[in-house]
């Protein structure tokens, strides 16, 4: 394929060298004359292990070239890859100037194109909606009704780590490709033919948001590890030993467990221990802003769940809450977010009934008993049998946990599963 890469920084230049090494012809476009001259003379414009050798080989084989202007390079290209910068704007968002400029240039450069549409893949980090709300309108403004016959827009985020970028290009953690219809793009398929990685073909917005989900999660991990490290330092604990133990747990700690958006956290352990770690940090004179905001974040999520669960419900509506304990098939009500939800539903005047076969109010003991009757004094009259729940008519059935799986509800039952937020 002939591939034209826009932006020859860390991402664009590395990609250019790697793509050329696979036998494709690559033309790099950058506004910097210095970068272009350096590349053409065999000097990499960045410091990155492995790119120098790839550049030397690519130039020797005639597979790499560079220019400051598009010219007619796009008329016979198979693929264009956009890697221009999206620096922070004063308001904290992304400055999309370079994206807009290069999109306009590409659209104008393909006006005379014949044959198949040019696949234009954006790798720059852009906010969700950018392709549909910014980039597509730019192409339509230039090309009008011919847009779809001249250009096929793709969002393809990169996952390269500086210092390991060449290795990461050929062995990425995943490949994400966002298209207009959520279907594969032939040029992207060809580009990645030799790369073995989990591949996700999705819509534009999901692909665009993936990069933010990833990078922010990495930031959270770093901040959390450093907060734990500060506590360890203050208490004379070996953070190395704690880290070794922590990361050894790939069942819960370093895994997909707990990572699916859904219900708030609760139960007898998590809220209690988060508060205790806050106290330990404060007692040791250690500031833990991330940990200290976990409870606030959880409370905000509880409110969001309530708003979602009651959206469109009329005052006094009859509601069935399926699941009261924080986990199905248990009777542990301590700090269950579902108890909070039940309390809010009652406070707002909804006609609430609760189905949870694991809970028998007469058998609750100890702290569980105390919490239940403190937070939900009417628990005994609210609990209903399976037969009642299955036969009664409700304005809404709220599935709070997996308890809902034990019910065979009426076909017209309006079920809303709060563990599957839209």
Given 3-state DSSP classes, what are the helix, strand and coil percentages for the chain, each rounded to the nearest 5? 45, 15, 40
The SS3 assignment for 360 reads coil
30 burial class (0-12, 13-18, 19+ CB within 10 angstroms)?
buried
Phi and psi at residue 271, to the nearest 5°: -60, -45
CA distances from 46 to 42, 173, 285, 384 (A): 12, 23, 43, 68
Residues forming the active site:
269
In contact, 116 and 77? CB cutoff 8 Å: no
In contact, 379 and 372? CB cutoff 8 Å: yes
Strand partners, 231: none
In contact, 123 and 157? CB cutoff 8 Å: yes
């Amino acid at each position: 394929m002939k591939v034209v890469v826009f932006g020859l920084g860390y991402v664009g230049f590395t990609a250019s060298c790697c793509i050329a090494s696979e036998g494709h012809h690559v033309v790099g476009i950058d506004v910097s004359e210095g970068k272009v001259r350096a590349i053409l003379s065999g000097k990499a414009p960045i410091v990155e292990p492995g790119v120098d050798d790839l550049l030397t080989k690519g130039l020797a084989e005639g597979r790499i070239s560079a220019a400051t202007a598009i010219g007619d390079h796009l008329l016979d290209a198979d693929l264009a890859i956009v890697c221009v910068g999206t620096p922070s704007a004063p308001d904290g968002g992304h400055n999309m100037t370079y994206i807009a400029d290069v999109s306009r240039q590409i659209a104008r450069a393909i006006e005379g194109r014949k044959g198949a549409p040019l696949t234009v893949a954006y790798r720059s980090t852009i906010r969700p909606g950018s392709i549909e709300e910014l980039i597509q309108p730019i192409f339509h403004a230039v090309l009008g009704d011919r847009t779809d016959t001249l250009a096929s827009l793709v969002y393809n985020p990169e996952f390269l780590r500086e210092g390991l970028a060449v290795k990461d290009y050929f062995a990425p953690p995943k490949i994400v490709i966002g298209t207009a219809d959520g279907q594969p793009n032939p040029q992207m398929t060809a580009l990645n033919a030799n790369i073995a990685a989990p591949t996700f073909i999705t819509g534009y917005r999901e692909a665009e948001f993936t990069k933010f989900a990833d990078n922010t999660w990495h930031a959270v991990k770093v901040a959390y590890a450093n907060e734990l490290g500060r506590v360890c330092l203050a208490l004379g604990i070996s953070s190395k030993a704690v880290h070794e133990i922590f990361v050894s747990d790939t069942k819960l700690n370093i895994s997909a467990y707990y990572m699916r958006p859904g219900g708030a956290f609760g139960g007898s352990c998590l809220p209690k221990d988060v508060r205790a770690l806050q106290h330990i940090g404060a007692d040791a004179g250690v500031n833990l802003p991330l940990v200290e905001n976990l409870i606030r974040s959880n409370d905000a999520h509880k409110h969001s769940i309530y708003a979602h669960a009651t959206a469109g419900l009329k005052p006094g509506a009859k509601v069935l809450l399926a699941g009261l304990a924080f986990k199905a098939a248990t009777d542990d009500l301590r700090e269950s977010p579902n108890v909070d939800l039940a309390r809010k539903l009652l406070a707002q005047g909804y006609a609430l009934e609760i189905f949870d076969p694991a809970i028998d109010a007469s058998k609750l003991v100890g702290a569980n008993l105390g919490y239940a009757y403190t937070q939900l004094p009417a628990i005994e009259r609210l609990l209903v049998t399976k037969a009642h729940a299955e036969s009664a008519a409700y304005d809404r059935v709220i599935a709070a946990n997996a308890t809902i799986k034990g019910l065979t509800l009426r076909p017209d039952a309006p079920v809303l599963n709060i563990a599957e937020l839209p």
